[in-house]
Structure 1
Amino acid sequence: MITTRIISTGACVPEQVITNDDLSKIVDTSDEWITQRTGIKRRHISAGENTSYFAINTARQVLERAEVSAEDVDLIIVASVTADYGTPSLACMVQKEIGAVNAVAFDVNAACSGFMFALSIADKYIKTGMYENAIVIGAETLSKIVDWKDRSTCVLFGDGSGGAYVEKSEDEGILKEELGAKGELWDILTQGYVGCSNAFNEEPLEKDNLWYVNMDGRAVFKFATKAVTKSIERVMESAGVKPEEIKYVVPHQANARIVDIISRKLGISNEKCYRNMAEYGNTSSASIPIVLNELNEKGLIERGDKLLLTGFGGGMTWGTMLISW
């Protein structure tokens, strides 16, 4: 049976680090307030680098580690809500810079679930035989869409990119998945509204307020703890996998309390629910691949280990995937 297997991982984050104490100098907050509510201590924030910079460097890294030539890449998919431009896509910019002249390239937007959706799409192309390999990346520069006067959101987010090179395999790889969306909740997490203002409709728009991230934190928290838990349960049941068989749960790094609740509801120990939001904050579509890369670089996972990747984001969307490393 043909499967899609992760061959290599990579990540790129800004060198500039902003601590909770740094934030307390520009908004009414404190290290204690942020840490208790989110588990976040630091975040890496762009010093001028845009999203393509992080995505390109991640792509170069995964290719080098996989020992694959860029000319042999079939597909490039980048998940992001903070691309450099409305068009071209980040994936096309990556394709040009790494020299992947034979690759199909496009972006997807599923907010913080973006990497899960992108990986799922790559999996389907590979399983149908259309392509044999892909570079899949989640990349964000969230610092450019955050209102730095809003303490309820500016303390949460960080910048960076993570990704993987995947290819056709006859060994175990992606085993089970579930993607979902609950569009009736679209308005609890929004950013970047573009109204119809043109030469024939000149009604002024309050663009500044609509450009920044706007979030109903309580509603997002409620959605995440319910939707993600149920999604993981369904995937594990479908795969016939028990909690003790899972080496690590790789959750979207939004909030430590969300991870705690999911862990408790599933009966999976906190130690298995890997988290690094204390260092990186919420990097949206980049968070899951950044964790994967950290696990890989630290030698915490071995071939054959079962991992549960799970994310949720604006839309509202969610995605869960059981993989054999």
Structure 2
Amino acid sequence: MPRTRIAALGHHQPDHVLTNHDLAGMVETSDEWIRQRTGIVTRRVAREETVTDLAAAAAGKALAASGLDPADIGLVTVATCSAQDRCPSIAAQVAGRLGVPGAVAFDLNNGCAGFTTALATADHSLRAGAARHALVVGAEKMSDVTDWTDRSTCVLLGDGAGAAVVSAEEGGDAGRDGIGPVVWGSDPTRGDAVRLKGAWRPRFAQEGQTVFRWATTELAPLIERACEKAGVAPGDLGGIVTHQANLRIIESLVRRLSVDGVVVARDVVDSGNTSAASVPLALSKLVERRELEPGAPVLLFSFGGGLSWAGQVVTCP
């Protein structure tokens, strides 16, 4: 069976920056209130760009960085929960824009856990021989589903996209797969804790305290299990990239894992919560800034609506 690896990454964010001070002029809030509760300072908001625009921009950068031809791509999947288009899929539109001919293309909606779920799905497909190279994208335009009158949620959300080219190869590092075994699941009994409901104009809503308690008390053992399945101790990781939901959640998880000295993504400060885009967006930025060593084991772990989670250890490209 072939091994898989992330061959290249790319990301894209809209130009428009929305600050906490901007939001304080829209709803009853303040920069201090937002920073204390979420750690967020700014977020990007797309004015004209669509989810497809964001996804295609990030995917195009990843494809260019991989050195592959569009014809080499056999699978395109976009993780998103904010797409306005039901059919054709965002993935099919991205494939069309990039000139990818004949690839299987589909969207995957697992809320904020979408990208790592899609990465595992592509990993399994490539290992089974269904394709040799895949484009895996997380893209969200959360501003389309934001209630801009709700101060508890509008301060959280941002727009953006991140993408990875995943490749299968024979042999490779005998000690560790480039994409480790996934740990994933859901707790549908608490599915309404994070939700996007409504036929044509859904709005993001959540039970903040429920999500915070769940994330800070129940996710650390799942992260440890993902590390165990990959054969690496949390303290030996080169980096940790969790869903960028809230800086307080990220800091709590890091404390529970006792991973002093490990590079931890904190892109939520600048980008807000970009749902399924947050993990690939944060990972791509860390790699671009050379804050992660090539070949280092990096934990990816995302969680959210469902309540769902998915995570794996990958080798940094």
Q: Are 1:257 and 2:248 an aligned pair?
A: yes
Corresponding position of 2:189: 184
Distance 1:126 1:227 in 2: 31
Corresponding position of 1:88: 88
Distance 1:91 1:226 in 2: 35
Cα pair 1:84 1:90 within 8 Å, conserved: no
Corresponding position of 1:104: 104
* Structure 1 gap segments, 5+ residues each: 195-206
Q: Are 1:291 and 2:279 an aligned pair?
A: no
Corresponding position of 1:197: none
SS, match of residue 76 in structure 1: strand
- The alignment yields a C-alpha RMSD, in angstroms, of 1.4
Q: CA deviation at 1:57?
A: 0.9
Distance 1:20 1:84 in 2: 27
Cα pair 1:263 1:270 within 8 Å, conserved: no
Q: CA deviation at 1:176?
A: 2.5
Q: CA deviation at 1:270?
A: 7.2
Q: CA deviation at 1:292?
A: 1.0
Q: CA deviation at 1:299?
A: 1.3
Distance 1:95 1:241 in 2: 35
Corresponding position of 1:204: none
**Deviation digits for residues 199-256 of structure 1 (CA, Å, limit 9, x no counterpart):** xxxxxxxx86xx2111100011112123321211112233332233101110110011
Distance 1:29 1:187 in 2: 25
Percent identity of the aligned residues?
A: 38
Q: CA deviation at 1:271?
A: 5.3
SS, match of residue 176 in structure 1: coil
Moved more, 298-307 or 112-121: 298-307
SS, match of residue 47 in structure 1: coil
Distance 2:218 2:80 in 1: 22
Cα pair 2:6 2:165 within 8 Å, conserved: yes
TM-score, length of structure 2 as denominator length: 0.95
Cα pair 2:117 2:311 within 8 Å, conserved: no
Q: CA deviation at 1:67?
A: 1.0
Q: Are 1:223 and 2:228 an aligned pair?
A: no
Corresponding position of 2:305: 314
After TM superposition, list the pairs within 5 Å mapping 1:3-14 onto structure 2.
3-14=3-14
Cα pair 1:110 1:117 within 8 Å, conserved: yes
1:191 partner amino acid: L
Distance 2:260 2:216 in 1: 16
SS, match of residue 14 in structure 1: coil
Q: Are 1:37 and 2:72 an aligned pair?
A: no
Distance 2:103 2:237 in 1: 34
CA distance change for structure 1 residues 24 and 271 in 2, over 3 Å: closer, same or farther? farther
Cα pair 1:308 1:322 within 8 Å, conserved: yes
1:302 partner amino acid: E
Q: Which runs of 4+ in 1 moved over 3 A?
A: none
Cα pair 1:176 1:323 within 8 Å, conserved: no
Corresponding position of 1:74: 74
Corresponding position of 2:164: 164
2:8 partner amino acid: S
Structure with the greater alpha carbon radius of gyration? 1
Corresponding position of 2:64: 64
